[in-house]
């Protein structure tokens, strides 16, 4: 008798919870470390808008920009634990969770332009790299662009020798570490949210980043010189917690895939303009002096940095480097 009452109560509870639960939106917490006013920040907001629209509000996307929820390393751990559902870390940040192959994007001067980039990300190598994320509990949904990097410091950086002994903030990538060492400088891994203060207080002497990241974090205000070096690239992988993604209702997932495809197109279309404008704004501010390298100086940077390829082959995988270079060559822009 008691069992019947309990079972009956459970059925009633379920019946009550059923419709109520169905009304609860599925929440996607999308955490990232940059400002809203950047290619990634805008891409995240576009995904939010489209995901909510295409699912008729069944999915709610909460965007947490500017490291308000988690910093670089923490956010990847939070994703693996399911505390957030979506992130877009840069390619350079997957090493600490054991996916070193993405550091191929960090090799100095590896990408001549965005045409070559697309050839890599949209081709077999791009797909193969995304697959490596699944055993880590995440699914790679898309590649989002930022842009090519500038190098800044409180002294002018024209020749490789100018780097000697300076401390540079880097992202958590061994390839970037090797790059800075090849130039004779001292790399220091640091979360993105801490860079401005570290530059301001002299904890580090310099840094490398895209114009949009430098400008929105006001780094140019605390760096006397910025070299237009285009020596490397920053882009992102949009990742989602695998258990969450696999468990989505069958009628919701296609709408989210559509939202992601369109947000990706949007973000990749605006990235160049966002960076061009940020560069112009920094030039106008007059706070940092821009340096253009002569072809000879650039050739010397390249020469100084080429050993990084050999040194990092065992970490990134020679086959990954070869496939990357093959894709670049096929794009016909190198
Ligand atoms: C950095 O840490 O410098 C960048 O990866 C930040 C970002 O997400 O663009």
In angstroms, the CA 225 to CA 289 distance is 5
Query: With a threshold of 0.85, does the pTM exceed it?
Result: yes
**Ligand 1, closest atom to CA 146?**
9
pLDDT of 135: 98
- Kind and range of the H or E element at 268? helix 253-285
Q: How far is the CA of 206 from the centre of ligand 1 (A)?
A: 15
Cβ of 33 less than 6 Å from ligand 1: yes
Cβ of 171 less than 6 Å from ligand 1: yes
Q: How far is the CA of 102 from the centre of ligand 1 (A)?
A: 14
Q: How far is the CA of 208 from the centre of ligand 1 (A)?
A: 10
Cβ of 172 less than 6 Å from ligand 1: no
pLDDT of 23: 74
pLDDT of 3: 46
Q: How far is the CA of 156 from the centre of ligand 1 (A)?
A: 23
pLDDT of 7: 45
- Which residues in the chain come in under a pLDDT of 70? 1-22, 333-334
61: Cβ contacts below 8 Å, ≥ 6 apart = 27, 28, 30, 47, 48, 51, 52, 86
CB atoms within 10 A of CB 181: 16
* Nearest CA owner, ligand 1 atom 2: 192
pLDDT of 333: 59
* Residue 27 DSSP SS3: strand
Q: What tens digit of pLDDT does each residue of 213-230 get? A: 999 999 999 999 999 999
Cβ of 192 less than 6 Å from ligand 1: yes
Q: What tens digit of pLDDT does each residue of 128-174 get? A: 999 999 999 999 999 999 999 999 999 999 999 999 999 999 999 99
In angstroms, the CA 123 to CA 160 distance is 34
């Amino acid at each position: 008798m008691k069992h019947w009452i309990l079972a009956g109560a459970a059925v009633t509870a379920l019946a009550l919870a059923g419709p109520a639960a169905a009304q609860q939106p599925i929440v996607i917490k999308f955490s990232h470390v940059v400002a809203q006013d950047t290619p990634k920040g805008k891409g995240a907001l576009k995904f939010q808008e489209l995901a909510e629209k295409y699912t008729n509000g069944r999915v709610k996307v909460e965007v947490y920009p500017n490291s308000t929820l988690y910093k670089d390393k923490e956010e990847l751990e939070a994703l693996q634990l399911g505390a957030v559902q979506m992130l877009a870390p840069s390619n350079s940040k997957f090493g600490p969770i054991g996916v070193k192959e993405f550091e191929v994007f960090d090799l100095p001067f590896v990408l001549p332009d965005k045409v070559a980039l697309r050839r890599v990300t949209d081709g077999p190598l791009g797909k193969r790299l995304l697959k490596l994320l699944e055993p880590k509990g995440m699914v790679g949904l898309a590649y989002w662009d930022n842009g090519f990097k500038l190098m800044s410091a409180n002294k002018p950086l024209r020749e490789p020798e100018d780097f000697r002994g300076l401390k540079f903030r880097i992202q958590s990538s061994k390839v970037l570490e090797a790059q800075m060492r090849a130039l004779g400088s001292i790399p220091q891994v640091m979360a993105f949210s801490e860079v401005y203060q570290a530059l301001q207080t002299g904890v580090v002497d310099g840094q490398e980043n895209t114009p949009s990241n430098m400008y929105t974090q006001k780094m140019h205000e605390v760096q006397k010189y910025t070299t237009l070096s285009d020596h490397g690239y920053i882009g992102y992988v949009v990742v989602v917690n695998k258990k969450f993604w696999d468990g989505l209702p069958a009628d919701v997932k296609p709408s989210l895939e559509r939202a992601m495809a369109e947000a990706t197109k949007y973000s990749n279309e605006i990235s160049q303009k966002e960076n061009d404008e940020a560069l112009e704004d920094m030039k106008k501010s007059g706070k940092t002096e821009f340096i253009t390298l002569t072809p000879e100086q650039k050739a010397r940077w390249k020469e100084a940095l080429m050993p990084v390829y050999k040194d990092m082959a065992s970490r990134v995988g020679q086959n990954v480097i070869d496939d990357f270079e093959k894709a670049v060559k096929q794009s016909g822009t190198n």
